[in-house]
Chains A and B, each alone.
Chain A
Amino acid sequence: MKGVEVNVERVSRSYGDFKALDDVSVKINKGEFFSLLGPSGCGKTTLLRIIAGFDYPDTGSVAFDNKDILPLPPDKRQSNTVFQTYALFPHLTVYENIAFPLRLRRVDKQTIESKVKEYVRLVQLEDHIYKKPSMLSGGQKQRVAIARALINEPRVLLLDEPLSALDAKLRQNLLVELDQIHDKVGITFIYVTHDQSEALSVSDRIAVMNKGKVLQIGTPYEIYEAPSTRFVAQFIGESNSFPCTVLSCEPYEEEYLIRVDVPALKGEVSVTDYEPQAIGASLDFTVRPEKVRISTNPPRTTAKELNTFKGIVDEPVYSGFQSKFYVKLEQEPSTQVKVFKQHTVFLEDGPDIEWKDTVYVSWTATDGYLVKDTDR
């Protein structure tokens, strides 16, 4: 494996009264595509700058393959960075920009030429090598930055929101390309982003951060389907989240079936969890909008695993492949339940559910989950 294992242990960093990082520990495996995800100001960029060597932690340690790297200056670390603003050298051509790290190391001319050509091919910039950065588009600039960071053959590539300055379509294409480059070079990628869809689509694992703390580390699937805190549930994707109190808890197949009282829904909800919950515990009940079914007729079964609420469509939002419905509940009009419905069949007479329709929203106990409300 060409990559390196990055071990961040109990790192804290404050700027005056502001705690940018608060006792952060992350272990990133060799060759992994690892994302640091969180809103702006959550500390993800600070952590990246500490790993790169542009900032230093107040306490804690950072190690590559168990070797402490904190005493090393940025130019002595086996990491290279792709900057958010590209940071291409405006006085150099694309070729010279990519050759810059090699020229610093006084590599001979022939080696430089063959290596630059190799990396130019990797990022598909063959036609632009003699241009200055000011003549390139945003996407091309970002490719130069990636090639320049990779040519030193670092063991870790640090990417600081590399796609945030690009438009949505280009971002998708570059993201796929980035994933392919990761597969080709096989080194560890640490990717900082505030865009949850970017993180979900390419990462092997994600660390969700907020207010200087790591809230959850897991695969995209785990993060989306089993968020551990209310913040994670709301930050990743969309969700219906309500405070609740545990009423009862009984074994159910290999899990537990829990009845909770949800004041916002003016009713009780069944939900399954892998862990038993104490009766009377205050938690957050969450269900993803795409897991909620919506229909104009009441569902046929009345099993206790199925939660059904009656309401009125307050706002339908049609967006082609799907519709979003904001449903106002009959027994509690101040609560809105979000429902996403995929349009899998073509309807001759237009949408089957419209504004002001009376509808039933339902979801099974296994689709909901309980999260700890540690962020409050």
Chain B
Amino acid sequence: MKKTLKPREREQLLGTIYGGPMGLWFTIFFTVPLGIIILYSFMKRGLYGGVEWEFTLTAYKQMFNPSFAMVVIRTLWISVLSTFLCILIAIPCGYAMAKSKHQTFLLFLIIIPFWTNSLIRIYAWISILSTEGFINSLLIRLGLIDEGLKLIYNNGAVVLVLIYMYLPFAILPLFTTIDKFDFSLLDAARDLGATKLGSIVRVMFPNIKSGLSTAFIFTFIPIFGAYTVPLLVGGKDSTMIGNIIVDQVSKTRNWPLASAFSMILTLISLIGVFWMLYNGKREQMQKEGGLKKTTQQALEHNVKAHHTHRGTK
């Protein structure tokens, strides 16, 4: 006998089929290369790049080198600082956009930078920040300084340009969640005795948590793996993990070490993604659980009301 599927089961099956092409794409171009990188990180390095097929943990041992440790620590603090500042700037931006009447126009403004190649935008920053650049020549012409300030080729410039590059990725998710936020809750908090800032911290932040975590992940992960920005606007003490990987692949030709560092990046990104998924799932479960409970209670309530009604008759 042919097995008939319930409508719900059929829907789920259809969903799986529709997802097929994307799954295939990801398997071939994402999962397989990732597997190769994992494999390479446990291999012995080849003399002129590539690997020799021999299992070893050398690459991971090489990572515990004080000079690499410095780079990892630097990457961490630059990423945390840039992400934090990005989100700090993005919150008022998202708030203003959600409240604005010209939302489409403002969204358009945020998307414009994506029309230009990111390398060109970094070079634009070089011409703004360099010793003979826009800012310095303006300040000299105004007579505020005598010779150009050293604005570029240091960690400050790296943080600044990283914020510039990834700010839209923080603004967009924050804007969408703040747009859905019920602003009358702020009125309610004020009415109940909260100050302006207090109402935002105690009521708005907890309710835009999903936007905050998305913004965090969308900015922290790419910044953590950044390599063009420190390469082009950083100084000699601005090397980040991304730069080590590039060096190990193209100059030192230690592919297993490059793979091992990539594993670190992937691992940290995965932790972020799983954290986000876990948060999302928990919120959803709370909502669904709540719904089931209320219907059951409503039923019980009805039954009770019915009985009491009968009882009095």
Contact with B along A95-139 (1 / 0, CB 8 A): 000001100110000000000000000000000000110111100
Which A residues are in CB contact (< 8 Å) with B34? none
A42 to chain B, nearest CB (A): 21
Q: Which of A74-82, A205-213, A245-253, A310-318 contacts B (4 or more CB under 8 A)?
A: A74-82
Bound CA–CA A26/B202 (angstroms): 36
Candidate in A79, A80, A90, A136 with the most chain B CB atoms within 10 angstroms: A90
Bound CA–CA A75/B203 (angstroms): 15
Inter-subunit contact A135/B290 (CB<8 Å): yes
* Cβ contact of B192, chosen from A80, A85, A91, cutoff 8 A: A80
A242 to chain B, nearest CB (A): 44
Q: Does any Cβ of B come within 8 Å of A256's Cβ?
A: no
| A134-B287 contact, Cβ under 8 Å, with A100-B192, A152-B192 | yes
Q: Does any Cβ of B come within 8 Å of A279's Cβ?
A: no
Q: Does any Cβ of A come within 8 Å of B81's Cβ?
A: no
* Cβ contact of B294, chosen from A104, A136, A148, cutoff 8 A: A136
Q: Does any Cβ of B come within 8 Å of A89's Cβ?
A: yes
Bound CA–CA A52/B188 (angstroms): 10
Bound CA–CA A54/B191 (angstroms): 9
Inter-subunit contact B203/A74 (CB<8 Å): no
Inter-subunit contact B192/A104 (CB<8 Å): yes
B285 to chain A, nearest CB (A): 12
Inter-subunit contact A90/B207 (CB<8 Å): yes
Which chain A residue lies CB-closest to B196?
A73
| A89-B191 contact, Cβ under 8 Å, with A132-B290, A135-B293, A135-B294 | no
* Cβ contact of A91, chosen from B190, B191, B198, B206, cutoff 8 A: B206
Which A residues are in CB contact (< 8 Å) with B106? none
Bound CA–CA A304/B301 (angstroms): 59
Q: How many residues of B contact A (CB 8 A)?
A: 25
Which A residues are in CB contact (< 8 Å) with B193? 75, 101, 104-105, 152
Inter-subunit contact A85/B182 (CB<8 Å): yes
Bound CA–CA A81/B206 (angstroms): 22
Which chain B residue lies CB-closest to A73?
B190
* Cβ contact of A87, chosen from B184, B206, B286, cutoff 8 A: B184
Inter-subunit contact B198/A74 (CB<8 Å): no
Q: Does any Cβ of B come within 8 Å of A83's Cβ?
A: yes
B179-206, CB < 8 A from A = 182, 184-185, 187-195, 198, 202-203, 206
- Chain B interface main SS type: helix
B291 to chain A, nearest CB (A): 7
Bound CA–CA A104/B196 (angstroms): 13
| A137-B206 contact, Cβ under 8 Å, with A75-B191, A75-B194 | no
Which B residues are in CB contact (< 8 Å) with A90? 207
| A91-B290 contact, Cβ under 8 Å, with A74-B191, A75-B190, A101-B192 | no
| A52-B192 contact, Cβ under 8 Å, with A135-B293, A136-B294 | no
Q: Does any Cβ of A come within 8 Å of B298's Cβ?
A: yes
Inter-subunit contact A52/B290 (CB<8 Å): no
Which B residues are in CB contact (< 8 Å) with A136? 294
Inter-subunit contact A81/B194 (CB<8 Å): no
Inter-subunit contact A87/B294 (CB<8 Å): no
Inter-subunit contact B187/A83 (CB<8 Å): yes
Which B residues are in CB contact (< 8 Å) with A137? 294, 298
B279-293, CB < 8 A from A = 286-287, 290-291, 293
Which A residues are in CB contact (< 8 Å) with B191? 52-54, 74-75, 79-81, 149
Inter-subunit contact B293/A54 (CB<8 Å): no
Inter-subunit contact B290/A89 (CB<8 Å): no
Inter-subunit contact B188/A81 (CB<8 Å): yes
Bound CA–CA A148/B193 (angstroms): 11
| A104-B184 contact, Cβ under 8 Å, with A80-B192, A136-B294 | no
Which A residues are in CB contact (< 8 Å) with B194? 75, 104
Which chain B residue lies CB-closest to A158?
B191
B141-194, CB < 8 A from A = 182, 184-185, 187-194
Which B residues are in CB contact (< 8 Å) with A135? 290-291, 293-294
11 interchain pairs, CB-CB under 8 A: A75-B190, A75-B192, A79-B191, A89-B185, A89-B207, A100-B189, A131-B293, A134-B291, A137-B294, A149-B191, A149-B192
Using a CB–CB cutoff of 8 Å, the interface residues on chain A facing chain B are 52-54, 73-75, 79-81, 83, 85, 87-91, 100-101, 104-105, 131-132, 134-137, 148-149, 152
A-B residue pairs, 8 tightest by C-beta:
A135-B290, A87-B188, A91-B206, A101-B192, A74-B190, A104-B193, A75-B193, A87-B184
